[in-house]
Chains A and B, each alone.
Chain A
Amino acid sequence: MKRAFPILAVLILAFLGYTAYEALVVAPTEQTMGNVQRIFYYHVPSAWTAFLLFLINFVASIVYLIRRNPAADMIALVSAEVGVVFCTVVLVTGPLWARPVWGIWWTWDVRLTSTLVLWLIYLSYLMLRRFSTSGQTPVLAAALAIFGALDVPLVYFSIRIFRTQHPQPVIGGGGSIDPRMLHVLLINWAAFLGLATLFCWARYRLEYMRREIEETQALEALLEPRGSR
């Protein structure tokens, strides 16, 4: 297992290099927007990856609330943290795409605002986990995660339900996409999923290690003779 991680990391980094080349060089140039449309190959897969991670967080939180399983709690924490990283990418690349295409960095329409709210909800989830000293923190966090997950379908379906500045979905939304563009989009998503897996794996191991150290420290404090402090 110890050797598997660096091997996987190298493979995924090489794949990310290849998919970046595909996105920047191989994918056809979009006729209306030109080269700036290539932001699409990072913006959309990052959003899909974040949604998937928040979904994992939602399922793990429910499992934790039902079974009080520490592994489910760790999975919930890890998926939320990595999800926030990918959601940050969405919120940064979005305005960088909007400025040359719409002429504005940001507009308070439903898609953009609900994405920002989603990011803030999971940021508050992470802050709760980081700073709360209550023994009930995992339970409170799991409850918050369940409410937070309600925002995910709102973000996803907002462009179908409401009239927004954001373009309609190119897949499953009645739009069309060049098959070469679709190929580049999907391989970039695969690469980002690989990166997310690496991050989750490393973060899970760190969380496991942290909990072991805390348990050992607590045990040592208990076993320490009373007069020795």
Chain B
Amino acid sequence: MRFLYAAYIATWIIHLSYAGILLRRYDRLKNEAAELEK
């Protein structure tokens, strides 16, 4: 069972990490856009 859970947890860690990367990029771009508007 530990291999099964490890595979499912690893899948979700990969997906959540990518979602986190997208959110961080969004924050950075939003800040850059705000800087430009100034």
Q: A213-B36, A220-B36 are in contact. Are A36 and B11 (CB under 8 A)?
A: no
Question: Measured between alpha carbons, how far is A217 from B37 in the docked complex, in Å?
Answer: 11
Binds B, one of A61-69, A120-128, A154-162, A198-206: A198-206
Interface size classification for chain A: 20 to 34
Contact between B15 and A195 (Cβ–Cβ < 8 Å)? yes
A51 at the interface (CB under 8 A from B): no
Query: Residue among A36, A96, A100 with the most chain B CB within 10 A?
Result: A96
Contact between B4 and A36 (Cβ–Cβ < 8 Å)? yes
Mark contacts of B5-38 with chain A using CB atoms, 8 A cut-off: 1 yes-contact digit, 0 otherwise. 0111011001100110010011001001100100
Question: Measured between alpha carbons, how far is A207 from B7 in the docked complex, in Å?
Answer: 31
Contact between A206 and B26 (Cβ–Cβ < 8 Å)? yes
Chain A interface, >50% SS class: helix
Query: Residue among A89, A97, A99, A210 with the most chain B CB within 10 A?
Result: A89
Which residues on the B side are within 8 Å of A206 (C-beta)?
Answer: 22, 25-26, 29
Count B interface residues, CB 8 Å: 19
Contact between A96 and B6 (Cβ–Cβ < 8 Å)? yes
Which residues on the A side are within 8 Å of B26 (C-beta)?
Answer: 202, 206, 209
Contact between B29 and A96 (Cβ–Cβ < 8 Å)? no
Task: List 25 A-B pairs, Cβ < 8 Å.
Answer: A24-B4, A36-B1, A36-B3, A42-B7, A82-B18, A85-B14, A89-B14, A89-B15, A92-B7, A92-B10, A92-B14, A93-B10, A96-B6, A96-B10, A99-B3, A100-B3, A195-B15, A199-B19, A202-B26, A206-B25, A206-B26, A209-B33, A210-B29, A213-B36, A216-B36
Known contacts A36-B3, A92-B7; 14 additional CB pairs below 8 A are A20-B8, A36-B1, A36-B4, A42-B8, A46-B11, A82-B18, A85-B18, A89-B11, A89-B15, A92-B10, A96-B10, A97-B7, A213-B36, A216-B36
